[in-house]
Every structure is written in C-alpha cells, then in structure tokens.
Amino acid sequence: MATPKELYYEKRGKMLVKNLKSRHFDACYCATKEEALKQALAWIPEGSSVGWGGVMSASQIGLLDALRQGNYNAIDRERCTTQEEKLQAAKDAMFADVFLTSANGLSLDGEMVNIDGTGNRVAAIVYGPKEVLV
C-alpha cells in the first residue's frame, strides 16, 4: 500500500503531466528512479548520438552510465580533458540526435524555468536537437 507521501507525489505528478501536455510536452510520471530510467531509455533509440548539459537527475537515476555503457554515441563533456575538448563536445551536443537537460524550476501548471551560465542547455532546448529530454 502506498504511503501518504507517495500518494501526494502521484497526485501532483499526474496534475503536472496533464499541464505539461497542455503545453505540448510529452510527459509521464515515474514513481521510482528505476521507472524513470526505463522510460528515459525507451525515449532514446539505440544507436543515437546523445549529448547533455547539466543533468543531475539523469545522473542520479543511472541514465548517464547507461548511455556510456550502452549502444549509444555519448557526447560526454565530463570525460574531456581540455577546455577545447569540452567546448567542442558542447558544440557537438547541439547536433546530437537527443539532448538531455534538467530544468532549474518547474511549476505545477507546467511552466519551465531555465537559467544557464554558458547557454548550451538553453540553446539546445530552444534551437538544438529535434529531441530534447528534460
């Protein structure tokens, strides 16, 4: 049986999904990090090139490790050793099949807020790869 906290999150999650869909986002609610990882991988076709900006949540659910170890072309700035390599990886990510990013804020009514130090995440959301997963 679900706890009151789990029921609260599920109810709010369903409301948020509805509101995101009304803003033309494809969204789903995942109650666990295992469900979130499975869903994220379902949205990323094998063989895809995948880049990312700041994505703490993707790291926490194991998505970045799955992309690094799976049948994907991971454009991984974190593994670059020089500033030039990091800059090139950020540029390459703009042309990836899929771009992963996190939102700095997400309101219950489906409004997303992003502020970016270098602009790579916001640029990719606005004018980057065809598929962007937040």
Q: 112-133: b or e for each residue (b if 16 or more CB lie within 10 Å)?
A: eebeeeeebbbbbbeebbebbb
In the predicted model, what is the mean pLDDT of residues 20-31? 96
Residue 85 has pLDDT above 90, yes or no: yes
Task: Report how far residue 30's alpha carbon sits from residue 118's, in angstroms, rounded to the nearest whole number.
Answer: 30
For residue 20, the model assigns a pLDDT of: 97
Task: Report how far residue 41's alpha carbon sits from residue 58's, in angstroms, rounded to the nearest whole number.
Answer: 11
Residue 48 has pLDDT above 90, yes or no: yes
Q: Which among 61, 77, 80 is positioned nearest to 124, based on CA atoms?
A: 77
Q: How far apart are the first and last CA of the chain?
A: 30
Residue 43 has pLDDT above 90, yes or no: yes
For residue 106, the model assigns a pLDDT of: 93
% of the chain surpassing 90 pLDDT: 82
Question: pLDDT tens, 87-118?
Answer: 999 999 999 999 999 988 999 999 999 888 88
In the predicted model, what is the mean pLDDT of residues 72-96? 94
Task: Report how far residue 49's alpha carbon sits from residue 38's, in angstroms, rounded to the nearest whole number.
Answer: 18
Residue 60 φ then ψ, to 5°: -65, -30
Residue 23 has pLDDT above 90, yes or no: yes
